[in-house]
Amino acid sequence: MAQTRIAVIVGSLRKDSYNHKLALALAHLAPSDFTFETLRIDDLPLYNQDEDGNQSAPVKRLKTEIAAADGLLFVTPEYNRSIPGVLKNAIDQASRPYGQSAWAGKPAGVVGISVGAIGTALAQQHLRNILAYLDVPTMGAPEVFLQAKDDLFDDKGHIGNEGSKKFLQGWMDKYVGWVKSHAA
Ligand SMILES: Cc1cc2nc3c(=O)[nH]c(=O)nc-3n(C[C@H](O)[C@H](O)[C@H](O)COP(=O)(O)O)c2cc1C
């Protein structure tokens, strides 16, 4: 069976990141013909337009990985009511040089988890604006604004809370169909 490849971009570099855990748990809810690979963004240099003609090896790698993907999944925390700088840096790096963006046309899901009560809503809204400019179609609904709670993940790293599991399974089912509809 042909595999649908999803490139996962996590906006946190933290070792025990809830968003990283969420990315792994979501992959468990997907059908077997979907593969999820988290792309490395922690070794990218800070974006400098002077380097556009001579992009570093980690930037080239990131762009190649995005190009090979059928879909994107952004899983991000909210930092100071926006997206983390590491995520914006990765987005900027892979969007250049002008006219050679790796992002254009790749269908994307946007989700996030935070310790705050509004669960990354503002970060996701900023991210959707950025992705619209980059010609990345984003699935609109359902939106996933999760607040970190003790029972959210079980000891296997799956979604442990039944209500959240049902909701996220519904999200994944729609995402799978939506990515496939863009590939068709
Ligand atoms: C620099 C910084 C800014 C933050 N700003 C917000 C914020 O605006 N909204 C929010 O809900 N949480 C905010 N937080 C708390 C994060 O939700 C929390 O650190 C979360 O664990 C980050 O996600 P991670 O576990 O994937 O690293 C902030 C944390 C940091 C370190």
Position 1 confidence tier, pLDDT thresholds 50, 70, 90: low
**Residues spanned by the domain of 131:** 4-183
Nearest residue to 128 (alpha-carbon basis) of 140, 118, 144: 140
Question: How many angstroms is it from 130 CA to the middle of ligand 1?
Answer: 20
Nearest CA to ligand 1 atom 20: 114
Could you tell me the pTM of the whole model? Answer: 0.98
Is the bond into 97 cis (omega within 30 degrees of 0)?
yes
**Ligand 1 near 124 CB (within 6 A):** no
Digit-coded pLDDT (tens) for 74-118: 999 999 999 999 999 999 999 999 999 999 999 999 999 999 888
| Per-residue model confidence as pLDDT tens digits over 121-138 | 999 999 999 999 999 999
| Beta carbon of 77 within 6 Å of any ligand 1 atom | yes
Answer whether 181 contacts ligand 1 (Cβ < 6 A). no
Total domains in the fold of the chain: 1
CATH of residue 130: 3.40.50.360
> How distant, in Å, are the alpha carbons of 48, 115, 121, 147, 149 from that of 93?
9, 28, 24, 30, 34
- C-alpha to C-alpha distances, 76 to 1, 110, 143, nearest whole angstrom: 30, 8, 13
**CA–centroid distance for 147 within its chain:** 17
Confidence of residue 29 (pLDDT cuts 50, 70, 90): very high
Q: Which residue has the higher pLDDT, 110 or 184?
A: 110
Q: What is the rounded average pLDDT for all residues in the chain? A: 97
Which helix (DSSP H) or strand (DSSP E) does residue 5 occupy?
Answer: strand 4-10
Residue 184 has pLDDT above 90, yes or no: no
Whether residue 111 contacts residue 171, with contact meaning beta carbons closer than 8 Å, is answered with yes
- Report how far residue 76's alpha carbon sits from residue 78's, in angstroms, rounded to the nearest whole number: 7
